[in-house]
Amino acid sequence: MISRSLLPVLRPEPSSPPGLVPQEIRSETPAGMILAGTLRSTPGNRYRVIGGYLDLLGRRTGAGNPANLSNFLPGAGRLYEPLWRTRSLTLLTGESFPNARELELIMRLLGSPHGGRYLDVGCSAGLYARHLARKTGGEVAALDISPSMLREAARRTHSEGTRISLIRTDAHHLPFADASFSGVVCGGTLNELRDPSRALREAARVLAPGGRLALMGLLRARSLAGSALQGLLAAGGLRFFTPEHLEEMLRAAGLQPYALETYGPVFFAGASR
């Protein structure tokens, strides 16, 4: 699904002016959420809204490493939140860390926002995006490369009665005009990206002046056992950061870091444009 109000800032081709226009709409809600149809860019390229999301990748997977491909496995979307996401931070930190606590930290890093437009990068089943839609009353867009994850995000969004624009695209090339968002969130995806520095530059580009970025991810382990495990995961394409490297990447992207909280290997970081 995609909101008509987001179409003017969408820019799938970086060299083209922003804006997508409806070409053939087959299903749309009274609130202006396009559920199925075809959109067209100024150069004349066409993109389908199908399966609950706007597909900007088409036949491309968008995967940059083997770790990304796990999100394409059958049932990955349906199983992600109940089997992993609700327990992941508790397992990683060794303390009670339910989703509600994580979401509270992310909202605090965003400055407890109300209104505005927000982007969830690497949304998986849409945990952050759905919370932003409920709490801010603003417009929310969420992106991922996995059709399975986006279909599950669409299902959960519909079940909860929230409105989120879901887009299949690559975090290295955000399909939006400059300064389009009041805030950007990213939960865990930075560790999975082929080029996290580029993704941070893209996040900075689409943030409006004064806009905030809130990140959750994994730092490099300090224990021998943790380092050994991360070494195995790195073979699949995962990356792990030191606090210094993370700050360096944020500053190089044109962002000003203002917060870093750590819970074992898990970090929550905030930066502003």
Tell me, yes or no, whether 190 lies in a domain: yes
Distances (CA, A) of 137 to 115, 117, 131, 152: 5, 9, 10, 22
For residue 68, the model assigns a pLDDT of: 81
Please say if the pLDDT value at position 237 is more than 90: no
Residue the block writes with tokens 């004349």: 44
Q: Is residue 100 in some structural domain?
A: yes
Please give the pLDDT value at position 222: 83
**Residues in Cβ contact with 164 at an 8 Å cutoff, skipping those fewer than 6 apart:** 1, 126, 129, 130, 133, 140, 141, 142, 153, 157
Domain that holds residue 172: 52-272
Q: Is residue 256 part of a domain?
A: yes
CATH code of the domain containing 233? 3.40.50.150
Tell whether 17 is covered by a domain. no
Is 64 a residue whose pLDDT tops 80? no
- In a domain? residue 258: yes
Strands 207-218 and 266-272: antiparallel
The percentage of the chain sitting over the pLDDT mark of 90, rounded to a whole number, equals: 80
* Whether 122 contacts 150, CB under 8 Å: no
Rounded distance between C-alpha atoms, residue 13 and residue 232, angstroms? 36
Q: Tokens 């299902």 belong to which residue? A: 155
pLDDT at 221 over 90: no
The answer to whether position 39 is within a domain reads: no
In tens, the pLDDT along 90-120 reads: 999 999 999 999 999 999 999 989 899 999 9
Examine the pLDDT at 146 and tell me if it is beyond 90: yes
Enumerate residues 6+ apart whose C-beta is below 8 A from 146: 71, 72, 76, 77, 124, 168
Report how many domains make up the chain.
Answer: 1
pLDDT of residue 180: 97
Q: What is the pLDDT of residue 81?
A: 92
Q: What is the pLDDT of residue 236?
A: 77
User: Is residue 69 a part of any domain in this protein?
Assistant: yes
| Per-residue pLDDT at 225 | 75
Question: Would 44 be classed as within a structural domain?
Answer: no
Q: What is the pLDDT of residue 226?
A: 79
What's the pLDDT score for residue 224?
77
